[in-house]
Structure formats: structure tokens, C-alpha cells
Amino acid sequence: MTGEHIGLIVVVLFCIGFWYLTFSTLFQILVRNLPKKPVFYTHLHEIGKARSAWKRKDFEFVEHWLDSSGSSSTSADERMARVEALVFEDRADKLSAAWVKNKPASASAALVRMNVLRKLAWEARGRTKSEKVSKNGWEKFFDLIGQAYEEGERSRTLVDADLTSIETSLITILMGLDADRDTIDGAFDAVVSKAPAHWEAHHRSLIVRCRKWFGSHDEMFSFARERIGQMPKGHVISSLIASAHYEYYLYLLLWESKEKEADRYLRQEPVITECEKAFVSMLSNGETLRHPFFPHAMARFAIVAKYMENDWLAAAALKAMGPSVGANTWDGAVSLGIVEALRKKHKLGSIRKASNDVSRFAEILESWKIKSQS
């Protein structure tokens, strides 16, 4: 091989190396700057793994998953979101009981069991006026809600007890036990003293303040608007206003049997505008999009939008939920009926093809052929 051949080979290898390094560097820069999928894509994947481990009774894996929720400003919400994900597992009753029996000193097991019992209790009672609950329903309710309270109190005594999540869970348990208002508010105050923007605690406390429970319409709306005003613009807490309007609607519909008045209430321009503004502000807040309860918040907008016949808002909220629609979680379950209603009404395509890139918000609405009422 001559010197010219060797020189040519060196030049070729140099060029190959140069272009390889150049393109690999550019590719890495591109990947780093691509828009990331919302964090709840990862959450759903992790929930699937945790539930699979739970079904295998790999309690060590599940406990580690719960305990690794992080130390960020939303870590308390993250942990509560993970607890709720386990609570909605189909076999949660048997699995949580087995976990407590297998690991009686586990604070995580006690926390999950407490919330499973809470969910079963309210399901036994049903979402209806107290006078319409059957005798059997009341018996099951008080038995289960009492067990939930006892498990919560036991969990306080365990090493590494998560007091923030325990107090959050107690809000609705104490409501069921008809505890005095100061005790219930004390649970909420204990949560926000450690996690001022705790989404789940705020929404449970909103229910406490509505007229059908321990408060009034004015107190409920004041609480929602004041708390929203204390947070950065577009914070996930902004979904409180959708919940408040929905609770007022339910009161008119179910407690006062004023169906027409309830419908008119939600379809008023000021109500629609307040909900739409809160919704759009949330989509412009990057922290909100990464919040573990973002899909739950979107589901609440979708629910109230359905009853105000605001198809634009309902469709946009469902699109923002993305793969959470139809998932075996609270928000996934409640969203399916809304999806089917919209698809039939507007002859729409599959929700599964939804984009979650907020920069394509206008394109999303255009693709669904649903326009804003404003």
C-alpha cells in the first residue's frame, strides 16, 4: 500500500469521525430541547408497575415506590396521588388488608389501608341525600368509616408516619363521622402548615365548606377564590373554582330539586367565563402541567363543562388529560362518560390520538371542530 493510499484512508477516517461527532452532538442538543411529555405519562407507567407489584404482593417494591415521592414542593401531593392510584386498584380491599397483615409496622401500608376503607365507606353510602341512604348502606358506611379512622389513628403511632397524608385523608373521614367543624378544619390546617398548596387537601376542604355539609355557598366560593388568589397565576389550585360551581349546581339539582334553575346557573356567562379563564391560565403554567394532580384538575373542568354544555371546555380538558382518560384512576373513570357523550354529539375521532403539547392548543380545538362560546 502506497503512501498516497494511507494518506487517503486517514483523510476519509478523519472526515467520518468529524461528521459523526458533529451529528451526534447536534442530535443530543435537539433531544435535550424537544418538548417533554407531561409528567403524568411517567406517572401512569409507574402506577402500572406499582400495581403489578402489589398484585404479586411485592410489598417492599410498593412501599419503596410510595416512599420515593421526592422532596419537592409537590412531593406531598405526589405521595397522595400514588396512594389514590393504589386505592383505585380493583382488588385494593384484599391487597391492602394482606399488606397490613404482612407488614403491621409499615406506615405506608396503614396509610393505604386507611384510604381504601374510606373509599369503600363512601361507596357504601352512595352520592345521595342522607334520607335516601338505605339502612344497610348506613350500617356498612359507619362500620367502614370507623375502621378507616381507627387505622388512621394507628398509623400515627408507626415509625415514618406520613402525617400530612394522614391528615388529608382524615378530612373526609371526619366528615363521615360527623365530627365538629373545628376538628375537621384542624386536619386541613395541619396539612397546609406543612404543604401550603396541597391540592387534595384543598379540594376536600372545599367540600367541607359547601352548604350541604358544614358551610354555605358564600363560604365555599370565598374559600376557592381566596386560595386561588394566594397562589401563582395558573396554579393547579385554580381548579377549585370549577369544583365550587359544580357543587353549587349539585345543591340546586339534588338538594333543592331545581333542575331547570341548576341548568341555568351553570350556563350563565359569568360562570362560564370564570371557569374558562381559570382553565386557560392553568395551561400556561409549566409547573401546573407537571403537577401530579393535573389530570384530576382537568377532569373537574371536564365534569363542570359537561353540565354547562360548554363542549369547547370539556373537549380541551379531556385533550389535556391525554392518556389519563380511561385509566383505572378517579379522573380516568369519570372522564369516559364525558368522552363518549362528546364523540357521539360531534362525531369525533378517538381520544387516544390527543396531543398534549400546549403549544398546539388551538390546533387541538380545531381538530375536534368545537369552538369556544366566548
Quick check: 262 pLDDT over 60? yes
Residue 264 lies in a domain: no
Element (H, E) at 129: none
Quick check: 46 pLDDT over 50? yes
In whole angstroms, give the CA distance from residue 191 to residue 16: 60
What is the model's pLDDT at position 351?
Answer: 43
Quick check: 16 pLDDT over 60? yes
Residue 347 lies in a domain: no
Residue 145 lies in a domain: yes
Domain count, the chain: 1
Mind giving me the DSSP string for 13-79?
A: HHHHHHHHHHHHHHHHHHHHHSPPPPHHHHHHHHHHHHHHHHHTT-HHHHHHHHHTS-SSTTHHHHH
> What is the pTM assigned to this prediction?
0.80
Q: Give residue 364's pLDDT band: very low, low, confident or very high (50, 70, 90).
A: very low
215 against 359, higher pLDDT: 215
Residues 245, 251, 257: CA angle, nearest 5 degrees: 130
- pLDDT tens per residue, range 117-128: 999 999 998 877
Mind giving me the DSSP string for 190-215?
A: HHHTT-TT-HHHHHHHHHHTSTTTTS
Residue 187 lies in a domain: yes
Residue 126 lies in a domain: yes
What is the model's pLDDT at position 21?
Answer: 61
Other Cβ atoms closer than 10 A to 77: 26
Quick check: 366 pLDDT over 60? no
What is the model's pLDDT at position 40?
Answer: 47
| Domain range for 100 | 43-200
Residues 134, 200, 139: CA angle, nearest 5 degrees: 15
Residue 209 lies in a domain: no
What is the model's pLDDT at position 356?
Answer: 40
What is the model's pLDDT at position 126?
Answer: 83
Mean pLDDT of 273-283: 91
Mean pLDDT of 274-284: 91
Cell of 316: 380541551
Across 7-11, 232-236, 257-261, 335-339, least confident range: 7-11
Residue 63 lies in a domain: yes
- Averaged pLDDT of the chain: 82
- pLDDT tens per residue, range 65-101: 988 876 556 788 989 989 998 998 889 999 999 999 9
333 against 157, higher pLDDT: 157
| Maximum Cα interatomic distance, the chain, rounded to a whole number of Å | 101
What is the model's pLDDT at position 47?
Answer: 83
Residue 247 lies in a domain: no
- pLDDT tens per residue, range 165-174: 999 999 999 9
